[in-house]
Structure 1
Amino acid sequence: MADDRSPNRLASGGRGAGEVPLPERGATTVTVAVPDGRDQQLLTETLSEYELRRVEDGISEGTDICVVGVGQLDDCRTRIRDWKRSERPAMAPVLLLVPDSVSDPWSQHAGEFGDVIDGIIRIPASKRAIRSHVDGLMAVRQYSLVAARRWERLELYSRAMDNADIGISIADARAEGAPLIYVNRGFVDLTGYSLPEVLGRNCRFLQGDGTDETTVTQLREALEAREPVSVVIRNYRKSGEPFWNQLDIVPVYDDGGTVTHFLGFQRDVTEEIERKRLLEQYEHVFESVSDPVVVLRADTTVVHANGAAIDVFGAGFAGPEPTVLADRLPTELAAIVRRACRIVVETGQTQERELSLSVPTGQKRTFQVKFEHESVSERDGDHIIAIARDISAIREQQGRLTVLDRVLRHNLRNRLTVISGQAEYVTTHADELDPSALADSAGAIQAASDDLLDIVDTVRQFEIGRNPEKSSDPLDVPTLVRSAVSTLRAEYPEIEFSVDGPTTARARCPPQLELCLEQLVERAVDGWERPSGRFAVRIVDDPSNDTVRVRVEVPGMEFSEIALSALEAGSETPLEHTQGIRLWLVKWAVENASGWVSLENTESGGVVILSFQRDAETGSRQTH
């Protein structure tokens, strides 16, 4: 915003830009057209400090002033006019030498002033007078060069500002309200207001209900302090449409250091702001989802990974050093991932793969991974988003249901065989059976039916197939164990039960813990000829291993190799399966609480150990 006296302020944007200085005399070129003889000799002596040229070959480039004798004017008139035209808008001064004998030469040549000549001097004249005329015209010439350069610069600035894609405005800082005195085409296109609607007004007319007052205050305080300011502000077009305006304002100073104008630049950044907000939303979703998400390059180099992915692959997975996902996987899985990424890049088609990985906790987890072409950001090159859904619980539940189906079918088939056989026997021999034999068959049918109902009721109580998620509620283990033992003592008075361990020990155990103990006892009792014996239950609170264990000793019971291997593997084969459902139900209930079951055969009998994750916030109290 420089005033007319210093247009070069716009170029420097600062204070104290100096004027173009006048050149030294030795740097001034004078072309002369005078006859040989005394006049030429006088000029040569008088203007010896200047660079002198002859006019015979025309007025050469670089000439600052011409000195022409009146007798040579006609011959030089065309060349003088051409020279003057080529120098515009700068002045090309011509000094005419007129003999003293010519009366009133100014009136005689009045029509040629400015067009052909710019000054007249009578000769003979003193050297001082000649130099004074030449220096005077040279000063005008130099100031005209300064003005021409300023004009060219202003023309350049004007064209640049008028044709700029962004909005440019100039406000008068000296006038009340800092009204706009100039806006370019970009400003008009940006706001929708015409020049007459804009000039003379303060830029505040672009603000509206949605404009942030804090930003407005920041702008006002910066302008009052005559300081540069840069903000993103919500403005409104003439149509009422809101847009985000990247507004930069800089003060412009005069030679005295006073701010005279404000130069403003306006740029519509609505798309950038909205895209940034969208990316922030995606980033928030990316980081907050519980599923592992990884952004990969085509070679499986990790570009970004969310917290869930870092939990799966370890703390160094998305560190400062480049990580290649395939290098973190076993050879077989690495080949699967590379192939999926290659197909996505080459075809753009989404790929799905199922991968089983060992996580840092040592657990084996199964993930369904979807590989998709990434299109949210503007990253260079091909990128793939890999979204992993942990389906371990689903696969575990499917495995449980498979075992449950096989065991139930086996048990149901055995019981139904009994029922069917006894029913057929009764039907076939109805006329031959005495009441005692008929009662025996009915009893067998009743017992088999009761077994079936018991199996169905037990499965229902364990809720197998309905809740694959891990339980995380800590419960007091001794309280549940003692409650279960109290029930068992009432049901089996002939059996001796003992409980040893702390009175309090909280752990993450299944709510069906009492049912688990009842099923273990019932499984053992089923193998006895008469319900008598001894069960020893010991509770162990082990802070060093963060576990609470329930150890159940069953004298006289021995686990088969099939039962031991099947429960350890977590599955059965069609040809090798356990006879009962009770151990499976106990195992699944415990594992659903992130615990584990182990079986042992000792010299005195079988041992079942139920281990649970200890609640670290609570201690235990020992009793016997």
Structure 2
Amino acid sequence: MLDDVDEGPRSAHREQVYETFADRSVGPETAIQRALAVGVERFDVDVGLFTRVSDGVRCILEAAGGRGFEAGDTCPLERSYCRNTVDASGSLCVESAADAGSIPRAAYEDLGFETYAGCKLVVDGAVFGTICFLGERERDRPFSEAEELFVELVARLASQALERRSYENRLRRRTEQVLEEKRRLEGVTQTTFDLIYRIDSATEFTYVSPAASQLIGYDPEELLGRSFAEFLTPASTQVAMEAFQSVFAGEPVEQVEVEFTGGDGEVVVLEANVRPVYDDDDEEVVEAQGVARDVTTRRQQDRELRVRNRALADAQFGIAIADATRPDYPIVDVNDAFQRLTGYPESEVVGESWLFLRGEETDPSALTTLYEAVKAGEPETVQLLGYRRDETPFWVRASVSPVTDDAGAVSHIIGFVEDVTERTRTERLVQLLNRVLRHNLRNDMNVLVGYGALLDEPAAQQPPDIGRVVQSTAADLVALSEKARELERYARRERTPTRLDPAELFARALEPHLPAHPEAVVDVVVETDRDVCAGAELARALEELVDNALEHDPDPDTRVSVTARDDGDAIEITVADDGPGLPEMEAAIVEAGRETPLEHGDGLGLWLVNWVVTRYGGSFQIRASDSDEGSGTVATLRLPAVGTEQRVEDVARRPTTLFR
């Protein structure tokens, strides 16, 4: 088509461009430089440019003509005459840039060229840059079809030259890689202890390295021309054939294990990496080339290690392994039980100090005992207070055992972590019951002895309420004994988290007491659609709080509110009253979770509440009301919540320590 349009002397320019790019003695840049000069003459313009467009930037690679353009000059593509050229399907030619919408206004203001003719370069299917010609004078006539085709011709020939060089560079690099690989392989095959081999499409060995003699008991010549399948055990034949087919389909195979029957009849386990070898046209796989090593011993060790690892993974107690050769003994591995026990995922544990479970109330002497044992390379066991990831404390039975290397030096420390919170809670509860019983029994018996002595006095000298006091004190002792037995019974009962409806809990807690207090006002508010995750004994704990609110208020029209509300992943239950309030020391003892020789609770009801709530991972607080009347008590229970779509086992929490 160009021959039909581009007639006369201007056709010589086209021939010059063809000749320029036909000269293979020069590179693409030189050919493009010459073609730009021809185009400048052809269009009678000032500048011809060869540009690279990348990441929104236009960079000049070659320039012909004046105006001071140099290779390396850059500008944003948005401020370049080439902005719309890269999106055009053919050439973009403009006679008057001042009036053309296809030329960015910013580019025109920067450079002031009136005439523009350009076309994009496409290399390997992607836009590479542009060829363009720019003139200061406005053209007095539109660009002809021949002129537009000339620009496209230069761009097409430049693209082909760049693609040809790209292909030649790839081919040269590949040839160099093949030659280097060949030299490296020749050197490696003579010295390596691994078996290097090649197999053709008929599964026969075409090359076997000298290592075959030592590795599998065959001289290389004994294997050449024979199928590898002859030497495999039946169990490995199918695996090897599948790998062979994958390689000849163009897919490399790594770390495939096969059992090879050696020259002495013994089975050698080989681990092989195999890749395809292509013909000269890089189209067809003609051979498979691989390297194999003896992993017989490793397989046996791996089998033994899997057994040990399986045992560790299935263990019900936590196991952590620490590196004893580095400062602070960082953890290098933990089992699943350790992660469940502490709440820490493996990713947050590895690299941490083996003592990272410690907290503000952890006994430092227990840590010192463990640390000294580790330094001495001796086993040791202690019980201490640890902290889970959510900062809840728990009782831990921690044991350390050193592992020595072949030289006898301690290389690793194995730590065993067992959660003994439940057992320790029970033991310390029994201790608490004994203390409270001894304390209250001694006080009440002193009262009974004192009033008993008054019975020997004349009736006129006896206090008028002596009988009532004796009966009341005796009744308190009986009630305390029964409460102690109840608390111990709950402590020894199996811990069973379940789903409890708050409304039903409240109904069970109120039912025993409301008939005896007809004038009391009880408000029940349930502002949650979720259930409480706890044991059935929680109803008894709530009943105890309701009993405290109703029975201990001398005013018959006492007011009690029982409320359940959502609080994040928990449900907050409050039992509030307007009674005389709980003694400050009693509240402090229950909240602290322990008594002292000088501070003792008067009863065990609140201990029962605290025991039940903390047994299911909750918290219990009791305080004076902050109402305007200035009296009353507010008891707050916070327990895990379980939604309709959740499972109890997914939200259930372990017991907290309670007694420390």
Q: What TM-score comes out, normalization by structure 1 length?
A: 0.53
Give the residue type in structure 1 aligned to 2:272. L
Equivalent residue number for residue 464 of structure 1 = 491
The answer on whether the counterparts of 1:286 and 1:293 sit within 8 Å (CA) in structure 2 is no
Aligned to 2:639: 613
Deviations 1:441-489 (A, max 9, x none): 999999589647733653366x11445x6x6544221221123212322
Aligned to 1:144: none
| 1:569 corresponds to | 592
Give the equivalent residue in structure 2 for 1:213.
Answer: 238
Aligned to 1:178: 204
Instruction: Choose which of 592, 608, 614 in structure 2 pairs with 1:585.
Output: 608
Find the aligned partners of 1:510 and 1:449 in 2 and give their Cα distance. 29
Contact 2:620 2:638 in 1 (8 A): no
Please tell me whether the aligned partners of residues 320 and 333 of structure 2 are also in contact (alpha carbons under 8 angstroms).
yes
Aligned residue in 2 for 1:348: 377
Partners of 2:475 and 2:359 in 1: how far apart? Answer: 53
- Tell me how large the CA RMSD over aligned residues is: 5.8
Gaps spanning 5+ residues in structure 1: where? 1-156, 429-438, 620-624
Check if 1:269 corresponds to 2:298. Answer: no
User: Residue 489 of structure 1 is aligned with which of 505, 514, 520?
Assistant: 514
CA drift of 1:584 comes to 0.7
Superposition pairs of residues 117-516 of structure 1, within 5 angstroms: 166=194, 173=200, 178=204, 187=212, 201-211=226-236, 213-222=238-247, 231-237=255-261, 243-247=268-272, 266-276=292-302, 291=318, 293=320, 295-297=322-324, 298-300=326-328, 302-304=330-332, 306=334, 318=348, 340-341=370-371, 343-345=373-375, 347-374=376-403, 382-410=411-439, 451=479, 454-455=482-483, 458-459=486-487, 463-467=490-494, 472-490=497-515, 492-493=516-517, 496-502=520-526, 505=529, 506-516=531-541
Q: Which amino acid aligns with 2:593?
A: G
SS in 2 for 1:565: helix
Residue pair 1:474, 1:507 contacting (<8 A) in 2 also = yes
What is the aligned length? 438
In 2, the alpha carbon distance for the partners of 1:177 and 1:511 equals 71
Stretches of structure 2 lacking an aligned partner (at least 5 in a row)? 1-185, 457-466, 646-660
Matched, 1:596 2:626: no
Residue of structure 1 equivalent to 2:63:
none
C-alpha deviation, 1:498, in angstroms: 0.9
Q: Whole-Å Cα distance in 2 between the matches of residues 294 and 179 of structure 1?
A: 47
Normalising by structure 2, report the TM-score: 0.51
C-alpha distance in 2 between matches for 1:338 and 1:460: 35
Aligned residues of 1:341 and 1:384 also touching (Cα < 8 A): no
Amino acid at match of 1:553: D
**Could you tell me how far apart the structure 1 residues matched to 2:568 and 2:617 are?**
18
Match status 1:553 vs 2:577? yes
CA deviation string 1:238-292 (max 9, x = no partner) = 6986553123568999999999998775422133344456656767777787737
Q: Deviations over 1:312-335 (max 9, x none)?
A: 697898499x75567996799789
CA distance in 2, matches of 1:352, 1:342: 12
2:482 corresponds to which letter in structure 1? D
What is the aligned partner in structure 1 of residue 649 from structure 2? Answer: none
Larger displacement relative to structure 2 (574-583 or 229-238): 229-238
Flag the 1:610–1:229 CA change in 2: closer, same or farther, 3 A.
Answer: closer
What is the CA-CA distance between 1:536 and the residue it aligns to? 0.9
Structure 1 distance, partners of 2:265, 2:448, is: 84
Distance (whole Å) between structure 2 residues aligned to residue 221 and residue 563 of structure 1: 77
Q: 1:169 touches 1:263 (CA, 8 Å); kept in 2?
A: yes
Q: In the alignment, residue 584 of structure 1 is paired with which amino acid?
A: W
> Contact conserved, 2:197 with 2:289, CA < 8 A, in 1?
yes
Call closer, same or farther: CA 1:358–1:267 in 2, change over 3 Å. closer
User: 2: CA distance between counterparts of 1:187 and 1:458?
Assistant: 79
Task: Specify the SS of the correspondent of 1:382.
Answer: strand
In structure 2, the residue corresponding to 1:555 is in which secondary structure? Answer: coil
The structure-2 alpha-carbon separation of the partners of 1:487 and 1:300, relative to structure 1 and needing over 3 Å to count, comes to: same
Change (3 A) 1:512 1:293: same
Question: Compared with structure 1, are the counterparts of its residues 546 and 407 closer, same or farther at alpha carbon in structure 2 (3 Å cutoff)?
Answer: same
Question: Cα 1:495–1:247, aligned 2, differ >3 Å: closer, same or farther?
Answer: same
Alpha-carbon spacing, 1:318–1:612, altered in 2? closer, same or farther (3 Å): closer
Shift, 1:585, TM fit: 0.6
The answer to whether the Cα contact below 8 Å between 2:509 and 2:546 also exists between their aligned partners in 1 is no
In structure 2, the CA distance between the partners of 1:544 and 1:192, relative to structure 1 (3 Å rule), is closer
SS in 1 for 2:322: strand
Would you say the 8 A contact 2:440–2:602 is kept in 1? Answer: yes
Q: Write the letter of the residue equivalent to 2:585.
A: I
1:517 aligns with 2:542: yes
Amino acid at match of 2:641: D
CA shift, 1:565, in A, is 2.3
Displacement after TM superposition at 1:572 (Å): 1.2
> Alignment partner of 2:558: what SS?
strand
For 1:293 and 1:337, how far apart are their aligned partners in 2? 16
Deviation at 1:578, TM superposition (A): 1.6
Does the CA-based 8 Å contact 1:170-1:183 persist in structure 2? no
3-state SS of the aligned residue for 1:218? Answer: helix
SS in 1 for 2:400: strand
Please give the per-residue CA displacement for 1:391-448, whole angstroms capped at 9, x wherever unaligned.
444444433232122224445667889999999999x9xxxxxxxxxx9999999958
Q: Is the 8 A contact 1:366 1:391 kept in 2?
A: yes
**Paired position in structure 2 for 1:28:** none
Alpha-carbon distance in structure 1 between the residues aligned to 2:372 and 2:366: 10
In 2, distance between residues paired with 1:618 and 1:253? 61
- Tell me how far 1:587 sits from its aligned partner: 1.3
By how many angstroms is 1:589 displaced? Answer: 0.8
* Structure 2 contact 545–635 (Cα < 8 Å) conserved: no
Report SS of the residue matched to 2:318.
coil
Return the offset for 1:563.
1.3
1:169–1:265 contact (8 Å) kept in structure 2: yes
- CA 1:507–1:525: 2 relative to 1, 3 Å: closer
Q: Which residue of 2 aligns with 1:29?
A: none
Question: Which has the higher mean CA deviation after the structures are superposed, 270-279 or 258-267?
Answer: 258-267
